[in-house]
Every structure is written in structure tokens, then in C-alpha cells.
């Protein structure tokens, strides 16, 4: 096989049959937009991965540049201590096992787990869409039409140029 500079090609499906320069320009533009969308999906997937793997603790990590150590917990989170005269036993707030099941279902850990599963599901959907779009773009290139090939390459360049600076701002 070799590349051809023809303005007649069938892309992906029978109904996408290109004949003439105007159809080729439109098809190259559509392929370029698909490739641009593919690059945007890569950035979204990285952003979701970062959100999925961020620590669940409300305190900053000691390994981040702006934090050198953990701040002390707020006083409302410290257990209320009572000392007895005879044996100095410590009585604290009610244990987790004594809470109602309905109360423990709305704990921050349960909400965090639900959020993590939702983000993971969204990341899986983005990955599936990205892989499908990547294979469709590969099949477009495999038509060996130079104009379609250049559309995929230019879409990738433009998508990378526009999308990856967004990664630092998201």
C-alpha cells in the first residue's frame, strides 16, 4: 500500500463516501475535530486520575511543597475527656459501634468511597471513548489518503497544543 492524494475515499462506513474536493475538505475537518477531541479526552482522563488519587484527608500532605507538617486537629474533633477521682478512667465520646446504622452511612468515609467509585466510573467511560475514537482514527489513517492522514496529524498537533496547557490550570 502507498499514500494517495485522491479526493475520492470511503471513510469508516459506506455512507461516508467522499467524492470531490469539497467533500474531502469537510472530511478532513471532521477528522481533525475527532483528533482534537481525542486529545482533550486524554487531558480529562489525567485530571480525573489526579482527583481519584488525591488523599481523602482534609489535611494537606507533608510531601506537598506548601505544607511542611500536619496542622493540629480542630478542637471540635478532639474527644472530650473526663477524669474520675478514683481510677483516672478516661471517658470519651460515644464509640462508632454505638451509633445508629443510618448515622454511620453518612460518614465522610462513605461519601468519599461513593465519590471515588463515581470518578472511577467516569474515568472508565472516558477511557472507553478514547480507545474507540483512537481506533476509528487509526482506521481513517489506514485509508492511505494523504489528506486524511494530514488531518489526523494536524488535529493531534493542535489538540496537544491547546489541551495540555489546560492540564496545569485544571
Q: What angle do CA 26, 37, 43 make, to 5 degrees?
A: 160
Q: What percent of the chain has pLDDT over 90?
A: 35
Report the alpha-carbon distance of residue 137 to residue 135 in Å, rounded: 5
3-state secondary structure of 145: strand
- Spans in the chain with pLDDT lower than 50: 61-64, 67-69, 83, 88-91, 93, 104
Alpha helices (runs of H) in the chain, residue ranges in sequence order: 21-52, 101-105, 108-141, 146-169
Cell 480525573, located at residue = 48
Q: Are 143 and 10 in contact (CB under 8 A)?
A: yes
Residue 163 and residue 35: Cα distance in Å, rounded? 12
Give pLDDT, residue 89.
47
Query: Which residues is 8 bridged to in the sheet?
Result: 19
pLDDT in tens, 6-30: 888 888 888 888 999 999 999 999 9
Give the dihedral of Cα atoms 128, 133, 134, 135; nearest 10 deg: 90
Q: What is the pLDDT of residues 49-66, one digit of tens each?
A: 777 776 655 555 444 455
Amino acid at each position: 500500500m502507498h499514500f494517495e492524494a485522491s479526493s475520492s475515499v470511503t471513510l469508516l462506513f459506506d455512507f461516508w463516501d467522499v467524492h470531490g474536493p469539497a467533500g474531502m475538505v469537510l472530511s478532513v475537518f471532521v477528522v481533525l475535530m475527532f483528533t482534537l477531541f481525542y486529545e482533550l479526552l486524554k487531558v480529562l482522563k489525567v485530571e480525573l486520575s489526579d482527583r481519584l488519587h488525591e488523599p481523602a484527608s482534609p489535611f494537606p500532605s507533608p510531601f506537598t511543597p506548601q505544607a511542611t507538617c500536619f496542622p493540629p486537629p480542630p478542637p471540635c474533633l478532639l474527644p472530650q475527656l473526663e477524669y474520675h477521682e478514683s481510677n483516672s478512667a478516661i471517658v470519651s465520646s460515644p464509640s462508632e459501634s454505638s451509633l445508629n446504622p443510618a448515622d454511620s452511612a453518612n460518614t465522610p468515609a462513605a461519601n468519599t468511597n461513593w465519590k471515588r467509585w463515581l470518578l472511577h466510573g467516569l474515568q472508565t467511560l472516558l477511557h472507553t471513548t478514547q480507545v474507540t475514537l483512537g481506533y476509528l482514527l487509526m482506521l481513517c489513517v489506514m485509508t492511505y489518503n494523504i489528506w486524511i492522514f494530514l488531518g489526523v496529524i494536524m488535529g493531534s498537533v493542535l489538540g496537544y497544543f491547546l489541551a495540555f496547557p489546560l492540564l496545569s490550570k485544571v
